[in-house]
Amino acid sequence: MKKIIYTISILVFVSCGSTKLLSPTQADVDRGAKKYTDITLASLNEGKSIFETECTKCHSLKDPKKKSEAQWKTIVPRMTAKANKKAGSEVIDARKQELILQYVSTMSN
């Protein structure tokens, strides 16, 4: 009985601690194109990949839907500066920052 409770506890803990990001679709591209004229499915997927790779170096993934577009426009530049400072170099350049911002802003709606 203890083994079952322990296993269930571990599964609950692991599932609560991770965020599964949705992959962008063409509908997301169409929605994002209202704000970003150069957005493509490939650029949204690249933004998602950078978001997953770079942001998890310091903290767990955040669900884009939990913040508004306006909040992301403040958060992403601030976190980019922190990541670059921590690394001692520009690991997230302006292009990567823009791709992250396009991804989280588009997926937040």
- In tens, the pLDDT along 38-64 reads 999 999 999 999 999 999 999 999 999
Q: Pick from 74, 69, 72, 77: which is nearest to 97 by CA?
A: 77
**Would you state the structure tokens that stand for residue 17, as one six-digit string?**
């601690």
Q: Which segments of the chain have a pLDDT < 70?
A: 1-19
Tell me, what's the pLDDT at 14?
Answer: 45
Per-residue model confidence (pLDDT) at position 2: 61
Residue 13 is predicted with a pLDDT of: 47
C-alpha 60/C-alpha 107 separation (Å) is 17
Mean pLDDT of the chain: 88
Residue ranges covered by each domain of the chain: 21-108
Name the DSSP class of 7: H
Q: How far is CA 2 from CA 7, 10, 16, in A?
A: 9, 12, 21
pLDDT for the residue 22: 83
Rounded Cα distance, 107 and 109, in Å:
5
Count the alpha carbons within 13 Å of 48 in the hemisphere toward its beta carbon.
21
Euclidean distance between CA atoms 85 and 31, whole angstroms:
33
